[in-house]
Amino acid sequence: MKDEILRGLTDSVVSGDVEKCVEYAKKALEAGIDAYEAIMEGCARGMSIVSEKYEKGEMYVPEILCSAEAMYAAMEVLRPHLKVEHVGTPRKVVLGVVRGDIHDIGKNLVKLMMEAAGFQVIDLGRDVPNERFVDIAVREGADIVGLSALMTTSMVVMPEVIKEIKKRSPKTLTMVGGGPLSPELAKAYGADGYAKDASQAVRVAKSLIGGVA
Amino acid sequence: MQDRMTPAERLAAVLMGQKPDRVPVNPFILGFAAKIVNLPIGDLYADPRKSFRAQLLCAEMYGYDATPMYAYASFGAWEFGGEVGMPYEPGQSAPYIIRHPVESPEDVDKLEVPDPRKAGSIPIAMEIAKLCYENKMPVVFQAGEVLTTAANIAEPARLLRWMIRAPDVVHKLNKKVAEFFIAVAEYFTSTFGADKCMAFTGGPVESNKLINPRQFGEFVFPYMKQIHSKVLGMGVHVILEHPCSDQNANLPYYVQLRKELGWNGKYIWAFGPETPLEKQIECFGEHDIIMGNVDPPSFQFKSFEDVLALCKDNIERGIKNPSGYILGVGCELPPLAPPINVYALMKAAREYGRYQ
């Protein structure tokens, strides 16, 4: 019964079926399954499969966005039932698309994967002024700041943001990603990490902070 | 090494299937031109006279073969009634969307195809086109891509979700976008004559970083074919097609497009650096011109020597195309690239791109 419900959650996240996902989330609560377990073993497992399929070219962004919708719908049902012991102090990640760029799909996918992996994500949105990244990183004591850009014309502000973060919040790590970026460019920009896509972002973030979200 | 032809002669030679003195260079420069002439980048997109002058002076200074044009990646939102901001703030390099005109399927129903004479940036593009025409340069108008434009109108994530949840809404929007592009083409060709015009099309939402080739076949191909067929039918001979980012999995559709259009007209293919030149030559080499695809970020952070080596490699591979080759960059050249790295393109073309 329990396995069937968790598998139902996983499968409905992968297929992006919002109604079924909500149905299984409610079933999980009715069956006395711990909400944290339902999120981690049902929803997050589903997103992990989605991530693998994206990496293999078996799923693309339209399907992933539907999976995200399904996962968030289930989380809405499950989150109020999380027990206090599971609401610890997660690692904080500040995410945003840099100034002059409104392409936030990649950043939203990173956010989704990171939340599914247990990070607390502070989403600054898109077209984010440089100083806002820095101010929020300092104010929140962020573990990681992730900068995203789709265009060659917008990525150019990244070194400045990274430099300022290093100056004002030396413990905060930085990572970059998005279409025109590369490991070499990330290094040249002074970033601590680079992720090719959303599926890599969680792995990179975890490796930067020593494996614990 | 001195050039023996003018940019116009060089480009004409390539378009006619002849060999010019050296490979032409089109560095895909927009915002960079503003930086070179000490102009705010916003003016390049908001002030047609300043934009024309900046692009012209930059081309003259380096000696590259591209002529001024007007295009930007966020095209569509403003033209269909939304709002864009011009890049006047530090760090901004291209127009950006402030408000998408479509938020719901009902908005798509209500959306009217705008009059190209008044729509968003078209009057600015028309002013630049007039200056090009007066200076005997090709007139370039933006004619696609449909899905990128639809995404700019409806917000990219929303549009991509609709592709799964409400495909009919996407088709409805795409039809209106295609109708608009055809109207734009009619406006420019009737103003200047089709033989003076070149269509430019390209956008990132069609890329396989976002959609799969089956989705390209359903949501892009029919509209692309409709627009290109109409544009060629109007008498435009040249289409500059920029399949932005990684579109390797869409290549069969581009080949199909050319076959179904009877290989009419001349295409200049400007793929991203993800698509090897050899593959492009195999697909289009018998009929079309291939534009080089040197990696754009390299211009920003690599040394002059490294960029020169990349350009040399691109020339050596691209020059094998039997229907012509233009040394180019795989997407817009980063506006903050060190000026010396743009010179690497010219030096490479003059030293390694000479025809015997």
Q: How far from the centroid of its chain's Cα atoms is residue B287's Cα?
A: 19
Find the residue in B nearest to A62 (Cα).
B160
Q: Nearest-CA residue of chain A relative to B167?
A: A62
Total residue length of chain A? 213
Q: Which of B269, B166, B272 is nearest to B219 (CA)?
A: B166
Sole residue written with tokens 């959609």: B211
Give a yes or no: residue B15 inside a domain.
Answer: yes
Task: Return d(Cα B136, Cα B52) in angstroms, integer.
Answer: 13
Is residue B1 included in any domain, yes or no? no
Average pLDDT over residues B189-194: 98
Range of the domain at B310: 7-352
CB proximity A179 to B under 8 Å? yes
ipTM value of the model?
A: 0.92
Question: pLDDT by residue (tens digit) across B55-78?
Answer: 999 999 999 999 999 999 899 999
The B residues from 103 to 142 touching A (CB cutoff 8 Å) are none
Q: Is B204 on the interface with A (CB under 8 A)?
A: yes
| Residue contacts between A and B (CB atoms, under 8 Å) | 104
Q: What is the pLDDT of residue B120?
A: 98
pLDDT of residue A105: 80
Question: Phi, psi at residue B258, to the nearest 5°?
Answer: -65, -40
B161 contacts on A by Cβ (under 8 Å): 62, 65-66, 69
Is the Cβ pair A153, B335 closer than 8 Å?
A: yes
Does residue B2 fall inside a structural domain? Answer: no
- Which residues have a Cβ under 8 Å from the Cβ of B79 and sit 6 or more positions away? B114, B119, B120, B121, B122, B180
pLDDT at A85: 60
Which percentage of chain B shows pLDDT scores above 70? 100
Q: Residue B84 belongs to a domain with what CATH number? A: 3.20.20.210
Could you tell me which CATH number the domain at A2-86 has? 1.10.1240.10
Across the interface, which of B96, B160, B297 has its CB nearest the CB of A100? Answer: B96
Shortest CB distance from A99 goes to which of B31, B92, B335?
B92
Residues 12-31 of A with CB under 8 A from B: 16
Task: Report the domain count for chain B.
Answer: 1
Closest CA in chain A for residue B338: A156
What tens digit of pLDDT does each residue of A78-112 get? 988 877 665 567 789 999 999 877 777 888 888 88
Q: Hey, which of A151-165, A194-208, B281-295 has the most confident mean pLDDT?
A: B281-295
Domain ranges of chain A: 2-86, 92-208
The CATH class that applies to domain A92-208 reads alpha beta
SS3 labels along A99-164:
CCCCCCHHHHHHHHHHHHCCCEEEECCCCECHHHHHHHHHHHCCCEEEEECCCCCCHHHHHHHHHH
Residue B257 CA neighbour count, 13 Å, CB half: 27
The yes-or-no verdict on residue B222 having pLDDT over 90 is yes
Task: Quickly state the pLDDT bin for B150 (edges 50, 70, 90).
Answer: very high
pLDDT at B145 over 70: yes
Q: What is the rounded CA–CA span in Å between residue A14 and residue A44?
A: 10
Position B356 scores a pLDDT of 75
pLDDT, average across residues A41-69: 90
Range with the poorest average pLDDT among A39-48, B123-132, B172-181, B264-273: A39-48
Residue B96 has pLDDT above 90, yes or no: no
pLDDT grade for A48, boundaries at 50, 70 and 90: confident
Note the pLDDT tens digit of each residue in B16-38.
999 999 999 999 999 999 999 99
- Looking at residue A174, the DSSP 8-state letter turns out to be E
Domain-embedded: residue B16: yes
pLDDT > 80? residue A150: no
Predicted pLDDT at A86? 58
The mean predicted confidence, pLDDT, of chain B is: 95
**Confidence (pLDDT) at A88:** 61
Which of the four pLDDT bands, split at 50, 70 and 90, describes residue A197? confident
Hey, which residues does B240 pair with through a beta bridge?
B200, B268
In a domain, B337, yes or no: yes
Instruction: Please state whether beta strands B289-291 and B325-328 pair in parallel, antiparallel, or not at all (unpaired).
Output: parallel
Q: What pLDDT is stored for residue A211 in this prediction?
A: 53
- Is B93 at the interface with chain A, CB within 8 A? yes
* Cα–Cα distance for residue pair A21/A24, rounded to 1 Å: 5
Q: What is the amino acid identity at position A95?
A: L
The pLDDT value given to residue A87 = 54
Please indicate if any CB of chain A lies within 8 Å of the CB of B208.
yes
Best A97, A127, A151 member to test B by mutation, with max B CBs in 10 Å, is A151
d(CA B256, CA B176) in angstroms, rounded, equals: 24
Give a yes or no: residue B253 inside a domain.
yes
Got the DSSP string for B238-255? EEEEEE-S--GGGHHHHH
